[in-house]
Structure 1
Amino acid sequence: MRPSGSDLRLLQVFDAVVRHGGFSAAEGELNLSQSTISNHMAALEERLGVVLCRRGRGGFQLTEEGRSVHEAATRLNAALHDFSADVGSVQGKISGELRIGVLDAICDDPQNRLPEALGAFHELAGDAKVLLAQEAAQDLQQKVRDGTYHCGIGVDLTPVEGLDQVLLNTEMHSLYCGRGHPLFHMPVADLVREELLALPFVKRGYWCTEKSRQNVFRNVAATVLQIEPQLLLIRSGHYVGYLPDHYAARWCANGELRRFEVPEFSYSAQFYLFTARDNRKSTTVTAITQAVRSAWAKNADCDQDDKSQKKQKYLESA
């Protein structure tokens, strides 16, 4: 099949239906009636020769063929946006679409300089459209590699061939429990390592084998794939688990969480900027890469200045 202009429109309708989970739910975005959307979907299925979805009492459901077609359509749409960006660069403009994937629970991190980087990118490329999506840690690197995102900011879980990465900052994680947990008010001196390791524990499902070995809690009572569900479970008062210190700080301040101040029960996670390794990076990718590098470099300079000022005050007071 060589897609025509009308085919691209049908694929856009299909994409909206999939994202909204049904025909009627997609009406608002497409500004089309449900019957018209149904006709478009029937036309696309006839064009492709496969059934894309089923509707019934169980609700809207993609077929296996529909899932594959939607994945291909997503790649095609990304390629069209990249083509627009490439044409813009020939014309001396940074345009098209910039797609960035990020992890959850990063807004509270004082080391995160993505807002400044996005501001700098906008100054360079005001005509470009930005798609900023929260992505699962276990999928981010691969989706940068396959072109779903132009770049990603997250942790290096497992090596993925064909990626370039730049170290941005280090995030500290500690062990926490919620108000109502039996150990919430227990003095640090009374904590027993073996008792801690036997407590009901919330594990992150994407932890690699090495990370799992480092956190050898025997009673894995719950598993999560993102930080926010982990916070909810810990706040229930029935589990212990690791959280980023910056993310947990406000919950500790209002008495909802307790951090176990035991060095053994903490670890660091390094955050990177990921881009696909390509001999010819687009002007869009080059612009956001430079903006991110510059924003995080300023952050490092500010931290160094702060340390110097504290040292100077200490010397003056001495």
Structure 2
Amino acid sequence: MQIRTLRIFAEVVRQGGFSQAAKTVFATQSTVSKSVKQLEDELGVPLLDRTGHRSTLTSAGEIVYRRALKILAERDDLLAELDELRGRKRGTLRLGLPPVGSSILFAPLFAIYRGRYPGIDIRLVEHGSQRLEEILAAGDIDLAASLLPVSDDFEWQDVATEPLVAILPRSHPLADEPSTDLAHLRDFPFILFEAGFGLNKIILDACRRRGFEPTIVARSSQIDFILELAAAGLGVAFLPQMIVAQRSHIAAACVVLAEPQTEWHLAMIWRRGAYLSHAAQAWLDLAREAHIT
């Protein structure tokens, strides 16, 4: 079983097909197809169900894919650790950050980090927390900022904890209240982020604990657009208090969400037991030094 064969198989799954995977691994579609077939023959089980227009994982394929991601990540860790031992630092920080809160919390650190470590190249990936965790688990980044709780597959370091705020039009009956809970908001439509944002899970899980599923009228990945939709009366939106405080110009009411287990708790996370490069460790050290945690 070759590392390249596992990587090709993982890319077929990740990209959702052979043609896109071929572009990612810089090979022909025929080569990619043969590599997957070779892996299936070697293991003696089909890994992909090729019926229809899209290949899907079989039960055996799910096991092999999960194990392949761990093997590939361990290989990358091994090479990085050996490079540092030999004094050939790669000088790359592969960092994943979510759109929500990063400009306030992390932008000041970038300038300090760049001044302190000018030889380190920062490769930034931006997605919602859930997607970042998938990319981190695959070994494609070293660190990610994600909302707690996270699975036991990750270790973490505190960044910030903030209460959530309900964003309402000024004409809303609750607009002048100092705080509210989800029970008082259940009859109003919700505006959420796009799929993959951890903040959605916090809100939806809290609604289910209250015994209801909210009506979702809009989703977006843009904070300012979500704020404008809420101000215009389309529905109620939710954001960490510190982000709302940075936007005093918004034409909306901001009411603290006094709801158990809905705090926005952000942390830097990494794969449990993974080797952290010099660049990654330096970022974590700087975060502690700057008292973000």
Q: TM-score, normalised by structure 1?
A: 0.64
Cα distance in 2, alignment partners of residues 31 and 87 from structure 1: 26
Contact 2:164/2:238 (CA < 8 Å) preserved in 1?
A: yes
1:157 aligns with 2:153: no
Out of 203, 222, 235, the position equivalent to 2:229 is 235
Change beyond 3 A, Cα 1:216–1:67: closer
Change beyond 3 A, Cα 1:198–1:70: closer
Deviations 1:5-54 (A, max 9, x none): xx222222222222221112223233333223222221121122221112
Out of 94, 108, 131, the position equivalent to 2:89 is 94
Cα distance in 1, alignment partners of residues 113 and 80 from structure 2: 17
10-19 or 264-273, larger mean C-alpha shift = 264-273
1:33 aligns with 2:28: yes
Change beyond 3 A, Cα 1:216–1:111: farther
In structure 2, the residue matched to 1:316 is none
Cα distance in 2, alignment partners of residues 57 and 276 from structure 1: 35
Report matched runs for 1:1-318 at 5 Å: 3=1, 7-95=2-90, 98-109=93-104, 113=108, 115-116=110-111, 119=114, 123=118, 125-126=120-121, 130=123, 132=125, 134=127, 136=129, 140=133, 150-157=142-149, 160=152, 163-165=155-157, 167-177=158-168, 184=171, 188-189=175-176, 196-200=184-188, 202=190, 206-207=201-202, 212=206, 220-222=213-215, 228=221, 235=229, 237-245=233-241, 247=243, 253=249, 255=251, 258-261=252-255, 269-275=264-270, 282-294=277-289, 296-297=290-291
Contact 1:173/1:268 (CA < 8 Å) preserved in 2?
A: yes
Count of equivalent residues: 280
Letter of the structure 2 residue corresponding to residue 221 of structure 1: P
In structure 1, the residue matched to 2:196 is none
1:123 is paired with a residue whose SS is coil
Change beyond 3 A, Cα 1:216–1:252: farther
Question: CA offset at residue 272 of structure 1?
Answer: 2.8
In structure 2, the residue matched to 1:304 is none
Deviations 1:220-255 (A, max 9, x none): 41479x983997599374432322346557988465
Cα distance in 2, alignment partners of residues 161 and 70 from structure 1: 16
Change beyond 3 A, Cα 1:135–1:72: farther
Deviations 1:163-216 (A, max 9, x none): 352x333445311136xxxx646694599969943433548553399x839x98
Cα distance in 1, alignment partners of residues 228 and 139 from structure 2: 35
**Which runs of 5 or more structure 1 residues have no equivalent in the other structure?**
301-318
Deviations 1:107-149 (A, max 9, x none): 44356545346636852545xx847463535984x99799786
Letter of the structure 2 residue corresponding to residue 241 of structure 1: A
Change beyond 3 A, Cα 1:20–1:188: closer
Letter of the structure 1 residue corresponding to residue 63 of structure 2: S
Change beyond 3 A, Cα 1:184–1:94: farther
**Percent identity at matched positions?**
20
Change beyond 3 A, Cα 1:136–1:89: same
Question: CA offset at residue 59 of structure 1?
Answer: 1.9
Letter of the structure 1 residue corresponding to residue 49 of structure 2: R
Contact 1:99/1:150 (CA < 8 Å) preserved in 2?
A: yes
2:201 is paired with a residue whose SS is coil
In structure 2, the residue matched to 1:307 is none
1:84 is paired with a residue whose SS is helix
In structure 1, the residue matched to 2:195 is none
Between structure 1 and structure 2, the one with the greater Rg is 1
1:221 is paired with a residue whose SS is coil
